Amino acid sequence: MKALRGKTLLNNPAQNKSTAFTREERAHYGLQGLLPYGVTDIHIQQQRVLANLRSKSSDIEKYIYLNGLLERNQRLFYRTLINHIAEIMPLVYTPTVGEACVKLSHIFRKPQGFYLTPEDRGHMLARLENWPETDVRIVVVTDGERILGLGDLGANGMGIPIGKISLYVACAGIAPSQCMPIMLDVGTNNQQLREDPLYLGYPHPRLTGEDYLSLVDEFVEAVQQRFPSAAIQFEDFSSQNAFTLLDRYAGSGRCFNDDIQGTAAVTLAGIYASSRITQKSFADLKIMLLGTGSAATGVAELLVPAFKAAGLSEAEAYSRVSFIDRRGLVTATHALIKPRIRSFVKNLPAADFVTAIATIQPDVLIGATGTAGAFTEAVVREISRYQQHPVIIALSNPTSHTECTAEQAYQWSEGRAIFASGSPFAPVTLHGRTYHPAQGNNVYIYPGIGLGVMVSRARLVIEDMFLAAAKELANCVSVEEIERGSIYPDIVRVRDISHKIAVRVCQVAQQNNLTKMETDLFNNLEASVRELMYEPSY
Ligand SMILES: NC(=O)C1=CN([C@@H]2O[C@H](COP(=O)(O)OP(=O)(O)OC[C@H]3O[C@@H](n4cnc5c(N)ncnc54)[C@H](O)[C@@H]3O)[C@@H](O)[C@H]2O)C=CC1
Ligand SMILES: CC(=O)C(=O)O
Ligand SMILES: [Mg+2]
């Protein structure tokens, strides 16, 4: 590879070190005169980044600044993100990425990731040749139809694969060059976007039915052909498409749906960890889900094997999980029950949400609705009547769409709730006591799954990997965290957690004959995975 020089080197985000180029390097690469005198190492550069970042007056300005940094100096961006993950993750991921997606066509600076539209039909493979990297291992793709809880944002949804990829690199150490964010821009039914003169997406109504499926088929085949080692992560598709695509491809290729499977694993981990606080056996728990979309259904579907592994029969496992939709408890009398939740239907009289809580008395309440305020005061008070420590997991993102805030959960439960949410909340002080809400987000799961699949080159991504990941994540919650009521570990440990999950994924792959991992690698799995993790440095 020809060494870059001068401005071309400074303009290459993967190789640029900016003011960290030494005097020798400046002379060698024709950089003299192109940089100010001072030579500052990555630590000083990081201080400058943080000072700049903290001087911005809004989160969206911080997002724009960080994105600019990613485009100027990849290693500095990732070093800073890793070292300050708790501060920066909410700026490159939920909640700020939600605002960024809403405004993406307006704040657009420079193209990032890869865009495909129906006009590329028949040429997808050729289009993928335009991507400059050849060893792609992780593809995160969205079609932008259900971006967080914000609905159809069309091509503006590209912010999500970009954010998810940033966290693949930061949280699991997959090299930036091996990651590819893709927007499968099949149009948008968001008329306001289509009519916006600044909108940058394919300005047509969404492709549907066979036209849509055949395009996704071509996309998946093209990715598999161009990048045969890549895993495909489907992200933020509409519920119906999410399940259709998972059923279509997961049995024969290396792919998974993060909203269904990643979310299921992170939620299960939280439930496992909550048992350590409530002192109730997992096998005795009753779980109630609000919402019947991808996330809630995914959680229910993973709970079944988890309960069975804990000794319950299949029928008992299904009986422990109940669904609430907009009409209340999903019962046998419901018209039009979605096929995937049919086995969870209860033979009980119709009941609204609060009445259903009184009837079933769940231990755990999980919200996956994208609807702000769906956990009302009455709901939280009702579950708190039956449970000393009700476990309340409000999964919906971004913060503006959470089912209830941390403060509401603690206030309405008189300080007894064990609370986690998809987007982070600061600690809450009530009546002189401080509570520590945890963040229940699939960021604890998908990076480790991707890393494990990458290392093992597992042919398929299977349910057992998510079950193992959930167990591993739950085990990572420390005694101190349990004592302060947190059901997820501190995010600062996420790289270690992803490493542990990746090791488990490799083992599951091996046990299921999904991998031809070299014996050497398998025998030294922990060290081998660690060695493969990218550490940004100059
Ligand atoms: N914390 C995390 O890691 C994750 C969080 N999520 C969040 O979960 C939310 C839902 O995601 P998906 O399940 O993929 O969406 P979805 O669109 O597939 O499902 C949403 C479901 O909620 C129902 N719903 C909406 N408002 C309701 C209400 N007031 N009462 C009862 N049901 C209601 C809808 O009818 C639908 O069944 C989103 O906000 C998303 O950001 C999703 C994946 C991961
Ligand atoms: C976290 C995530 O994947 C979502 O909210 O869709
Ligand atoms: Mg998602």
Residues 438 and 535 in one domain: yes
Quote the domain boundaries for residue 415. Answer: 263-460+476-538
The reply to whether 164 belongs to the active site is: yes
The CA 212 to ligand 2 mean position distance, Å, reads 23
The CA 6 to ligand 2 mean position distance, Å, reads 41
pLDDT reported for residue 187: 98
Residues 293 and 428 in one domain: yes
pLDDT reported for residue 71: 97
Residues 95 and 242 in one domain: yes
**Residue 37 structure tokens:** 């005198």
Find out whether 433 is annotated in a ligand binding site: no
Q: Which atom of ligand 1 is nearest to the CA of 421?
A: 1
The reply to whether 65 belongs to the active site is: no
Q: Which atom of ligand 2 is nearest to the CA of 441?
A: 1
Question: To test the ligand 2 pocket, which listed residue (238, 263, 297, 402) has its Cβ within 8 A of the most ligand atoms?
Answer: 263
pLDDT confidence of 336, banded at 50, 70, 90?
confident
Find out whether 247 is annotated in a ligand binding site: no
Lowest mean pLDDT among 310-319, 490-499, 513-522: 513-522
pLDDT reported for residue 250: 97
**Residue 60 structure tokens:** 């969206």
From the candidates 29, 63, 78, 93, which is the catalytic residue? Answer: 93
CATH number where 352 lies: 3.40.50.720
Residues 526 and 422 in one domain: yes
The CA 147 to ligand 3 mean position distance, Å, reads 7
| Closest ligand to the CA of 242 | 1
Give me the phi and psi of 218, to 5 degrees please: -65, -40
Lowest mean pLDDT among 337-346, 414-423, 505-514, 519-528: 519-528
Of the residues 197, 226, 249, the one at which a domain ends: 249
Question: To test the ligand 2 pocket, which listed residue (160, 366, 393) has its Cβ within 8 A of the most ligand atoms?
Answer: 160
Residues 58 and 187 in one domain: no
Find out whether 441 is annotated in a ligand binding site: yes
Does residue 275 register a pLDDT over 80?
Answer: yes
Residues 501 and 456 in one domain: yes
Q: Into how many domains does the chain fold?
A: 3
**Residue 69 structure tokens:** 């940094």
Does residue 98 register a pLDDT over 80?
Answer: yes
Residues 53 and 122 in one domain: no
CB 138 within 8 A of CB 168: yes
The CA 234 to ligand 3 mean position distance, Å, reads 8
Residues 28 and 157 in one domain: no
pLDDT reported for residue 2: 73
Average pLDDT over residues 100-124: 98
Half-sphere exposure of 245 (CA within 13 A, CB side): 32
Q: Whose CA is nearest to atom 15 of ligand 1?
A: 293
Query: What residues does ligand 1 touch, defined as CB less than 6 Å away?
Result: 146, 148-149, 239, 259, 263, 266, 290-296, 325-326, 368-371, 374, 395-397, 401, 422, 440-442
CB 76 within 8 A of CB 84: no
Give the ranges where 390-518 is alpha helix by DSSP (H).
406-412, 446-456, 463-475, 479-483, 494-511
Q: Whose CA is nearest to atom 3 of ligand 2?
A: 259
Average pLDDT over residues 59-63: 98
Of the residues 188, 216, 249, the one at which a domain ends: 249
Average pLDDT across the chain, whole number: 97
CB 265 within 8 A of CB 174: no
The CA 118 to ligand 1 mean position distance, Å, reads 28
With respect to residue 383, please indicate whether it lies within any of the assigned structural domains: yes
CB 133 within 8 A of CB 169: no
Does residue 521 register a pLDDT over 90?
Answer: no
Residues 365 and 234 in one domain: no
List, for residues 458-479, the tens digit of each pLDDT value: 999 999 999 999 999 999 999 9
CB 256 within 8 A of CB 231: yes
pLDDT reported for residue 1: 61
pLDDT confidence of 524, banded at 50, 70, 90?
very high
CB 386 within 8 A of CB 236: no
Does residue 506 register a pLDDT over 80?
Answer: yes
CATH number where 35 lies: 1.20.1370.30
Question: To test the ligand 1 pocket, which listed residue (97, 189, 238, 259) has its Cβ within 8 A of the most ligand atoms?
Answer: 259
Q: Whose CA is nearest to atom 2 of ligand 1?
A: 441
With respect to residue 465, please indicate whether it lies within any of the assigned structural domains: no
Residues 389 and 451 in one domain: yes
Question: To test the ligand 2 pocket, which listed residue (96, 97, 148) has its Cβ within 8 A of the most ligand atoms?
Answer: 148
Q: Whose CA is nearest to atom 43 of ligand 1?
A: 259
The closest alpha carbon to 474, from 455, 450, 449, 500, belongs to 500
With respect to residue 359, please indicate whether it lies within any of the assigned structural domains: yes
Q: How do 321-325 and 328-329 pair as beta strands?
A: antiparallel
Q: Whose CA is nearest to atom 5 of ligand 2?
A: 148
Q: Using alpha carbons only, what angle is made at residue 92 by residues 255 and 77, rounded to the nearest 5 degrees? A: 100
From the candidates 62, 63, 78, 164, which is the catalytic residue? Answer: 164
Residues 525 and 383 in one domain: yes
pLDDT confidence of 205, banded at 50, 70, 90?
very high
The CA 397 to ligand 2 mean position distance, Å, reads 7
The DSSP code for 148 is T
Find out whether 190 is annotated in a ligand binding site: no
List, for residues 63-84, the tens digit of each pLDDT value: 999 999 999 999 999 999 999 9
Ligand 2 within 6 A of CB of 422: yes
CB 514 within 8 A of CB 468: no
Average pLDDT over residues 153-173: 98
With respect to residue 84, please indicate whether it lies within any of the assigned structural domains: no
Give me the amino acid identity at 169.
Answer: V
Ligand 2 within 6 A of CB of 236: yes
Q: Which atom of ligand 2 is nearest to the CA of 397?
A: 5
